[in-house]
């Protein structure tokens, strides 16, 4: 791999910045706390609706620009494939992103390589890149300390062109406060024999306070999610495996004060024989994985005990539905906030044949799992024929507020901002990017980024082959 000095680096052109200001109004309602009398809860909601003032200032677009264009690797992956992790980070005034670059003439599956890009003084510049194309998937990043980026790589150990073969998951640690970033490889101890391949379905989290890292990678033989917890020195302090009721993937992972959390979506071949046969008759496609059951598990002290038995957050199995696990955020008191989209029936093909009258519209849901195991649920946005939610992510600010940034499809759609804590907003506030982000990740706390008045967004706007960056300033 190559480390690039700032004087040697070739700059990546940026587009013009776009700044937009507009007025906004918002009404908030308090989320009832556990055990609160329901009558008092509704009184609190009504009072909040009455007295909540309007925003003094709308979200301000500080930056909106294209970063790089990628070539489809045709390996089943893409720049946001590991969507439970993130590929954007902020350290001080600098923003970092990992690029997924496809090798010209390199046979899949592992035909891409990583590059680390830094945005400084308005210019994106590569600071490090791999020598070879040994990745199938994008490589997520996490922050530890004030100057360290940790890249989660999954190097193929077999020649190009091989499929579903052995890979070596580990961390590349970069000190970015130097002219040429220093590099160290950190190898986790998984504790047992594992079968890690080019399909990692990985999870990744950082605890900024302790500078610990939590790596998760799926075993291709057993479908268990293996984990390794490493301290700031790269020493593995705990390892083990999580067994979900069914094979589960694309995990969101969080690490806070020694406690660990994981959210994962069931990812299995259509289990209903009649439905599977009918879908094959219609599509002649053998690939038929469904995402209908959402699971969550936690460990109060991962260094001492493993994860508790997973619990089921949502299930749309009986209606051939679809669930998209969007995000996971851990409150200071330890409650787990779970964000997901849900559709009663996934497709018109299934509805018209087996489930007449069922809904094909996405809704956005919030579940809060308290430390005592109780769960509160509410619908944040119900899909209609005119509007329905798409991608959504959490963002926390230094003053204790928690927001959801989401993409809304349909009439008056685009990117919206909704406050979740300390009071639940009723109005979704427009975020006026010139081109809305359709799919995206943020510089999340789960990856060691600090709460911020800036929302760093990285994802796809209009062109499916262009990765763009946006920065929102909150007033």
| CA-angle at 33, arms to 331 and 256, nearest 5° | 15
* pTM, 2 dp: 0.89
Q: What is the pLDDT of residues 60-80, one digit of tens each?
A: 999 999 999 999 999 999 999
Q: What is the pLDDT of residues 262-279, one digit of tens each?
A: 999 999 999 999 999 999
Q: What is the pLDDT of residues 136-150, one digit of tens each?
A: 999 999 999 889 999
pLDDT of residue 462: 82
Domain ranges of the chain: 78-221
Q: What is the mean pLDDT of residues 102-113?
A: 97
- What separation in angstroms does the CA of 347 have from each of 197, 249, 343, 390, 441? 31, 22, 9, 16, 26
In this structure, the number of other CB atoms found within 10 A of the CB of residue 391 comes to 22
pLDDT of residue 428: 94
Omega within 30 of 0 (cis) for the link into 278: no
**DSSP letter (8 states) at residue 161:** T
Q: Which ranges of 284-333 does DSSP label H, i.e. alpha helix?
A: none
Confidence at 178, pLDDT banded by 50, 70, 90: confident
pLDDT of residue 6: 46
pLDDT of residue 57: 56
Determine contact, residues 50/30, Cβ cutoff 8 Å.
no
pLDDT of residue 35: 52
For the cut 60, the answer to whether the pLDDT of residue 95 exceeds it is yes
Residue 148 vs residue 462, higher pLDDT:
148
Instruction: Write down the mean pLDDT value for the chain.
Output: 90
Q: What is the mean pLDDT of residues 184-205?
A: 97
pLDDT of residue 416: 97
Q: What is the mean pLDDT of residues 154-182?
A: 94
**Dihedral sign of CA atoms 229, 235, 238, 243 in order:** positive
For the cut 60, the answer to whether the pLDDT of residue 14 exceeds it is no
pLDDT of residue 251: 98
């Amino acid at each position: 791999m190559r480390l690039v000095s700032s004087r040697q680096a070739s700059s990546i052109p940026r587009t013009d910045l776009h700044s937009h200001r507009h007025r906004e109004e918002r009404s908030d309602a308090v989320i009832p706390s556990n055990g609160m009398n329901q009558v008092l809860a509704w009184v609190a909601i009504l009072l909040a609706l009455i007295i909540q003032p309007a925003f003094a200032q709308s979200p301000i677009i500080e930056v909106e620009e294209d970063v790089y264009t990628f070539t489809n690797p045709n390996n089943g992956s893409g720049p946001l494939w590991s969507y439970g992790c993130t590929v954007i980070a902020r350290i001080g005034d600098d923003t970092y992103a990992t690029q997924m670059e496809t090798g010209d003439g390199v046979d899949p599956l592992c035909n891409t390589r990583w590059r680390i890009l830094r945005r400084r003084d308005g210019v994106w510049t590569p600071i490090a890149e791999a020598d070879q194309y040994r990745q199938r998937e994008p490589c997520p990043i996490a922050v530890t300390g004030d100057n360290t980026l940790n890249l989660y790589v999954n190097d193929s150990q077999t020649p190009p062109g091989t499929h579903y073969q052995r890979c070596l998951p580990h961390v590349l640690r970069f000190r970015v406060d130097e002219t040429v970033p220093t590099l160290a490889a950190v190898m986790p101890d998984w504790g047992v024999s594992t079968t890690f391949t080019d399909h990692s379905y990985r999870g990744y989290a950082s605890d900024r306070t302790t500078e610990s890292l939590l790596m998760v990678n799926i075993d291709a033989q057993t479908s268990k999610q293996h984990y390794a917890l490493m301290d700031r020195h790269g020493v593995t302090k705990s390892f083990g495996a999580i067994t979900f009721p069914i094979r589960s993937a694309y995990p969101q992972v969080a690490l806070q004060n020694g406690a660990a959390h994981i959210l994962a979506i069931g990812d299995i071949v259509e289990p209903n024989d009649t439905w599977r046969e009918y879908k094959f008759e219609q599509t002649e496609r053998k690939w038929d994985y469904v995402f209908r059951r959402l699971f969550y598990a936690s460990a109060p002290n991962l260094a001492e005990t493993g994860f508790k038995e997973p619990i089921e957050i949502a299930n749309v199995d009986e209606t051939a539905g679809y669930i998209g696990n969007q995000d996971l955020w851990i409150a200071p008191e330890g409650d787990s906030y779970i964000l997901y989209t849900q559709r009663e029936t996934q497709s018109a093909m299934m509805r018209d044949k087996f489930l007449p009258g069922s809904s094909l519209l996405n809704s956005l849901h919030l579940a809060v799992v308290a430390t005592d195991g109780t769960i509160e649920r509410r619908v944040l946005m119900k899909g209609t024929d005119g509007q329905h939610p798409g991608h959504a992510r959490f963002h926390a600010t230094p003053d204790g507020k928690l927001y959801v940034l989401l993409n809304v499809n349909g009439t008056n759609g685009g990117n919206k901002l909704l406050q979740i804590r300390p009071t639940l907003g009723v109005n979704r506030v427009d975020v006026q990017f010139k081109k809305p982000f359709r799919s995206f990740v943020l510089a999340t706390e789960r990856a060691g980024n600090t709460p911020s008045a800036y929302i760093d967004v990285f994802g796809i706007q209009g062109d499916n082959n262009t990765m763009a960056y946006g920065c929102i300033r909150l007033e």
